[in-house]
Amino acid sequence: MKVLIVGSGGREHAIAMSVAKSPALDKIYCAPGNAGIGMIAECVPIGVMEFEKITAFAKEKEIDLTIVGMDDPLVGGLVDELEKEGMRVFGPRKNAAILEGSKAFSKDLMKKYQIPTAGYETFDSADEALTYLEGADFPVVLKADGLALGKGVLICQNLEEAREGVRTIMLEHQFGSAGNRLVIEEFLTGREVSVLSFVDGRTIKTMTSAQDHKRAGDGDTGLNTGGMGTFSPSPFYTEEVEDFCKKYIYQSTVDAMAAEGREFKGIIFFGLMLTEKGPRVLEYNARFGDPEAQVVLPRMKNDIIEVMEACIDGRLDEIDLQFEDNAAVCVVLASEGYPVKYEKGLVIKGLEKFEGQDSYFCFHAGTKRTEQGIVTNGGRVLGITAKGKDLKEARANAYKAAEWVSFDNKYMRHDIGKAIDEA
C-alpha cells in the first residue's frame, strides 16, 4: 500500500511514524515533509495548498491512501479535490472542516444542538463589537473567526484590553482574513483537556486524553503559541467527565454535523474546559492536534491505516480502539524568540541518540536537511516525547531526552506537566 501524508510538522511526523508500523504499508510519501519525516518517507517538494500538484502526484504514483494532516488544506477543500479523482482520502471534506474553519459556525452549531459551551456573540463590524463590550462582564475571550495557527485567541481582563484586542484582530488584521469576523465569548475557568477522536460520519471513537501548554513561557506566561508541550493521559479526565462528554458532547457533535448535511469523516479534536458546572467545549479542530498527536499516537496499539480505512468506509463500529496503559510527555524544543522572531538554519546535534529507542521519540517540526546536516527551520523545531509507567516517570524521561539534543538558540519550557503534581 502506498500512502501520501500532506503536511510538514511534528504532527505529520507522528502520523508517518504510526503509518510506518502498519504491515499493509509498502511506501510513504510526504508533501512537503521535513528532515525527520524524510528518514521514513520520501518527501516531495509540493506545498500543502498546491491542490492540483498534490492531486497529479497522487494519481501518478497510484497512491492508495492520502492523509491530510493540516488545517489549511482541509478547510480549503483538498479532500474534495482528491475524491473527485476517485482517490481514497482520510480527513473531512470542505463542508465538514468548517467545524474548525469558522468559530462562528461551530458556536452556532453548539447553540442549535444544545452542546455545552461558553456564552458568546458574533460580530462582523468592529464598531458593533466595541459597543457590545461597553456592557460586557470581564474577563472576556476574543476569537478571530478563521484559522490563525492556534494564535487568534485573546483573553482580555478589562475594557481597555478588549478594545485593543478588537483593534488587533479586526482593524489591524494581525491574523489576516481570520479576523474579518469576531467571536466574543464568556471566560471559563477550570482545567483544559484535549480529546482526539476518530469519526466515520456516524460512529465516534475517542482516543486517550491529553493536555496542551499553549503559552510560550513557564507558568503559562507570554504569548500564545502552537503548543509548547503536552502530556497524556490527563488525570483530570475522570470517568465521570468522560461519561458526561459521551452523553452531551461527542456523539451530539457528530449527529449535529450529519443533521446539517455536513457528514464528518476524519479526526475531531475536542478542546474542553472542565468547569465547576461540568465540561464545556472551548473549540473543535478537524485534525490531529500538534503536539497532542505526539503523545497520543505513540500510545495507540491499533494499526492506524486499518482505523483510517474504517473511517472512510463507515465501519468504525467494527474497530476496538486500544491504548497502552502508560503515559507520555512531549517537550517542544523551540527557537529562542518564538512565536515572534527567531533565527533559522542552526545545526542540530544529538539526533542520533534516538535511534533504536522504543520509549523515546524525536518528532521533527521545523527542520531541514542541508549539506551542513539537519538545521532548524521554524519556531517549533522538535517535539521530544518519552513514555513512562506513569506521568511523573514520563515527564522525567522527556526532560532527560530533551538534553540529548542541542542547537544554538534552543528554548523550552521547564514546567510541562506541572499540573500532574496537583492531581
Q: Which residues contact 138 (CB under 8 A, 6 or more apart)?
A: 156, 157, 158, 159, 162, 187
User: pLDDT band at residue 153, thresholds of 50, 70 and 90?
Assistant: confident
User: pLDDT band at residue 219, thresholds of 50, 70 and 90?
Assistant: very high
Report, as an integer, the average pLDDT of 266-288. Answer: 96
Cell (9 digits) for 38: 524524510
Angular region, 242: left φ>0, alpha ψ -120 to 50, beta rest: alpha
Task: Find the CATH number of the domain harbouring 169.
Answer: 3.30.1490.20
Q: Is residue 96, in this structure, part of any structural domain at all?
A: no
Report, as an integer, the average pLDDT of 20-46. Answer: 97
Instruction: Say yes or no to pLDDT of 152 above 90.
Output: no
Partner residues linked to 327 by β-bridges: 388
Residue 184 near residue 132, CB atoms below 8 Å: yes
Task: Find the CATH number of the domain harbouring 339.
Answer: 3.90.600.10
Q: Which long-range contacts (CB under 8 A, 24 or more apart) does 339-342 make?
A: 339/151, 339/216, 339/223, 339/224, 339/225, 339/226, 339/379, 340/223, 342/379, 342/409
Q: Are residues 389 and 376 in the same domain?
A: yes
Partner residues linked to 323 by β-bridges: 300
Q: Is residue 104, in this structure, part of any structural domain at all?
A: no
Instruction: Say yes or no to pLDDT of 333 above 90.
Output: yes
> In this predicted model, which residue has the larger pLDDT, 174 or 287?
287
Distance CA 163, CA 60 (A): 52
* Owner of C-alpha cell 457528514: 263
Partner residues linked to 43 by β-bridges: 30
Q: Is residue 110, in this structure, part of any structural domain at all?
A: no
Q: Is residue 97, in this structure, part of any structural domain at all?
A: no
Q: Are residues 351 and 375 in the same domain?
A: yes
The DSSP string of 320-353 is: ---B-SSEEEEEEEEETTTTT-----PBPB-GGG
Distance CA 323, CA 308 (A): 16
Task: Find the CATH number of the domain harbouring 48.
Answer: 3.40.50.20
Partner residues linked to 68 by β-bridges: 6
What range does the domain containing 396 cover? 327-422
Q: Are residues 244 and 354 in the same domain?
A: no
3-state helix, strand, coil in the chain (%, to 5): 35, 30, 35
**DSSP category for residue 167:** I
Q: Which residues contact 390 (CB under 8 A, 6 or more apart)?
A: 326, 327
Q: Are residues 242 and 344 in the same domain?
A: no
Instruction: Say yes or no to pLDDT of 148 above 80.
Output: no
- Decide which of 300, 318, 336 is a domain's last residue: 318
Q: Are residues 349 and 367 in the same domain?
A: yes
pLDDT of residue 309: 98
Instruction: Say yes or no to pLDDT of 147 above 90.
Output: no
Distance CA 264, CA 254 (A): 7
Report, as an integer, the average pLDDT of 24-38. Answer: 97
Q: Are residues 239 and 340 in the same domain?
A: no
Angular region, 93: left φ>0, alpha ψ -120 to 50, beta rest: beta
Distance CA 11, CA 67 (A): 12
Distance CA 68, CA 87 (A): 13
pLDDT of residue 224: 83
Instruction: Say yes or no to pLDDT of 311 above 80.
Output: yes
User: pLDDT band at residue 421, thresholds of 50, 70 and 90?
Assistant: confident
User: pLDDT band at residue 324, thresholds of 50, 70 and 90?
Assistant: very high
Q: Is-above-0.85 flag for pTM? A: yes
Cell (9 digits) for 209: 486524553
Beta-strand relationship, 215-217 and 221-224: antiparallel
Query: Rounded to the nearest 10 degrees, how much is the dihedral formed by the CA atoms of 190, 191, 194, 197?
Result: -70
Q: Are residues 395 and 356 in the same domain?
A: yes
Q: Are residues 161 and 260 in the same domain?
A: no
pLDDT of residue 162: 95
Q: Is residue 131, in this structure, part of any structural domain at all?
A: yes
Q: For 42-46, 152-156, 186-190, 370-374, which range has the lowest pLDDT when averaged over its residues?
A: 152-156
Going 85 to 90 to 96 to 98, the CA torsion angle's sign is negative
- Decide which of 139, 167, 186 is a domain's last residue: 186
Structural domain count of the chain: 4
**Residue 411 φ then ψ, to 5°:** -140, 140
Q: Is residue 413, in this structure, part of any structural domain at all?
A: yes
Distance CA 193, CA 209 (A): 7
Instruction: Say yes or no to pLDDT of 26 above 90.
Output: yes
Q: For 101-110, 146-155, 264-273, 371-380, which range has the lowest pLDDT when averaged over its residues?
A: 146-155
The DSSP string of 29-53 is: EEEE--TTGGGTSEE----TT-HHH
Cell (9 digits) for 232: 497524556
Report, as an integer, the average pLDDT of 58-73. Answer: 97
The DSSP string of 202-251 is: S-EEEEEEEEE--EEETTTEEEE-S-SEEEES-TT--HHHHHHHIIIIIH
Q: Are residues 274 and 241 in the same domain?
A: yes
3-class DSSP state for residue 332? strand
Q: Are residues 263 and 285 in the same domain?
A: yes
Distance CA 378, CA 193 (A): 27
Q: Is residue 234, in this structure, part of any structural domain at all?
A: yes
Q: For the chain, what is the mean pLDDT?
A: 96
- Decide which of 154, 186, 218 is a domain's last residue: 186
Q: Are residues 307 and 199 in the same domain?
A: yes
Among candidate residues 214, 53, 203, the one with its CA nearest the CA of residue 6: 53
Instruction: Say yes or no to pLDDT of 150 above 80.
Output: no
- Largest separation between any pair of C-alpha atoms in the chain: 61
Distance CA 268, CA 250 (A): 9
Q: Are residues 312 and 198 in the same domain?
A: yes
User: pLDDT band at residue 391, thresholds of 50, 70 and 90?
Assistant: very high
pLDDT of residue 146: 87
Q: What digits encode the pLDDT tens for the residues 229-269? A: 999 999 999 999 999 999 999 999 999 999 999 999 999 99
Q: Is residue 100, in this structure, part of any structural domain at all?
A: no
pLDDT of residue 223: 87
Amino acid symbol at 25: L
